[in-house]
Amino acid sequence: MEKQLISFHLPKAMLRDLDDAVRRGVFKSRSEAVREAIRRLLLAYGLDGAAPRDKPGKKKRKKRQKQAEKIMCNGLETEPAELWRGFLAHVAKLAEGAKTNIVGVAPYKYASARCRGHRTAASLYLYNKLMETGCVADVVKRKRPRKILLYKDCILKLLAE
């Protein structure tokens, strides 16, 4: 895909949020973030053929998601939904004991303890499910394994459903 340079003005607050997203690792660069935003806008207007995705790692992610249809946990084939329910129960215990409104969880640690052979696929599945909940306050990338900070009240609402 041939690229062409364009320039435009953004409000300072929007640019600060954009830089914050890049710093947190949500996007590799400002350009990638803007391309993704425009791609989604074009998709919303039904112009999806004009907006190819330019993320090189996308094929690997799809492959891993296909592998996550069945995950070996504790020596048994486990449905991802069962893994998710167990993880939510684990998060509930953490949330109930938390003194602040933020709860930190590490999906990789949880998956490593339960799904030795498939811990990467299991942790990726849990990570993606957490991102879909809308309860994520922040992702701490400085540490290994990656820790996800969740809003306690949001998690408790999710568990009540």
Instruction: Please spell the DSSP secondary structure of 28-88, one letter per residue.
Output: SSHHHHHHHHHHHHHHHTT-GGG-----TTHHHHHHHHHHTTSEEETTEEE-HHHHHHHHH
Pick the closest to residue 158 from 92, 98, 105, 83 (CA basis).
Answer: 92
Examine the pLDDT at 65 and tell me if it is beyond 70.
no
Structure confidence at residue 11 (pLDDT): 92
Residues 34-50 have pLDDT tens digits of 888 888 888 777 776 55
Look at the pTM and tell me if it is higher than 0.75.
Answer: no
Structure confidence at residue 33 (pLDDT): 87
Examine the pLDDT at 52 and tell me if it is beyond 60.
no
Mean pLDDT of 87-99: 84
Structure confidence at residue 138 (pLDDT): 80
Mean pLDDT of 114-121: 77
Angle at 107 between CA 103 and CA 113, to 5 degrees: 120
Note whether 64 and 57 are within 8 A (CB): no
Mean pLDDT of the chain: 77
Examine the pLDDT at 57 and tell me if it is beyond 60.
no
